[in-house]
Amino acid sequence: MALANIISAFGLAGAAGLNAYIPLLIVAVLARLGVLQLSPPFDALASWPAIIALVVLGTIEFVADKVPGVDHINDAVQTFVRPAAGAILFAANTGVVSGMDTTLALICGLILASGVHATKAAARPVVNGATMGIGAPFISVAEDVLATIGSLLAIFFPILFLLFAALLGYLAYRLIKRARRLRAPRTAQPTVTT
């Protein structure tokens, strides 16, 4: 069970790097329904004020992230929010594991969510530039779907989450490789004159 909780913690922190509010809201609602157990002080996530705040903030983030230009401002604001959410989710999920230092858990979640967020924030301007802004809403919806699926898999099917994460990593590798190949300068083919 301890290994499953640690896998879940990694999955939730990674999802928070894409969207801070989706995994927080999923954990909060599941804890409120009694499906998840959160140890103090993280059990405060299951309170109605916390759930309402997450719904409101999540809605604002959902809309802001779909608008080209506004999504850059949103990513700047989320630079602080997403790592904090990742830290909270990692620590909350590993809090039930005896022997896991809370400070270490917070740092792990912070670093993981920061890395995912930095990758997302770096890729977004490239997508917006390549599609003249048209791709922003589609990429944002895809990120929200990935955050939702990743969060649910991390909570309910941690081993399946590992396969999901490996598949995403492979797809990202292939996309990066393809993008580099397309951007590489093409060498002129020698012409043969007779």
- Mean pLDDT (whole number) for 96-100: 61
Could you identify the residue written with the tokens 């989706």?
22
Write the CB contacts of 4 (distance below 8 Å, at least 6 apart in sequence): 158, 159
The reported pLDDT for the residue numbered 133 is 72
Q: Which candidate, 8, 43, 2, places its Cα nearest to that of 23?
A: 8
Q: For the segment 138-194, what is each residue's pLDDT rounded down to a tens digit?
A: 888 989 999 999 999 999 999 999 999 899 888 877 877 776 776 667 665 666 666
Strands in 29-111 per DSSP E: none
Q: Which candidate, 4, 10, 5, 41, places its Cα nearest to that of 23?
A: 10
Answer whether residue 188 is part of any domain.
Answer: no
Identify the domain containing residue 138 by its residue range. Answer: 2-183
The reported pLDDT for the residue numbered 31 is 95
Q: Which candidate, 44, 80, 63, places its Cα nearest to that of 137?
A: 63
The reported pLDDT for the residue numbered 175 is 74
Tokens standing for residue 158:
């941690």
* CB 87, CB 13: distance < 8 Å: yes
The reported pLDDT for the residue numbered 132 is 76
* CB 154, CB 11: distance < 8 Å: yes
For 87, the enclosing helix (H) or strand (E) is helix 70-94
For the whole model, what pTM was predicted?
A: 0.83
Could you identify the residue written with the tokens 């599609």?
131
- Mean pLDDT (whole number) for 130-141: 81
**Separation of alpha carbons 107 and 120, rounded Å:** 20
Who wins on pLDDT, 184 or 3? 3
**Separation of alpha carbons 167 and 182, rounded Å:** 22
Answer whether residue 193 is part of any domain.
Answer: no
Total count of domains within the chain: 1
Answer whether residue 190 is part of any domain.
Answer: no
Answer whether residue 189 is part of any domain.
Answer: no
- Mean pLDDT (whole number) for 18-30: 95
Per-residue pLDDT band at 76 (split at 50, 70, 90): confident
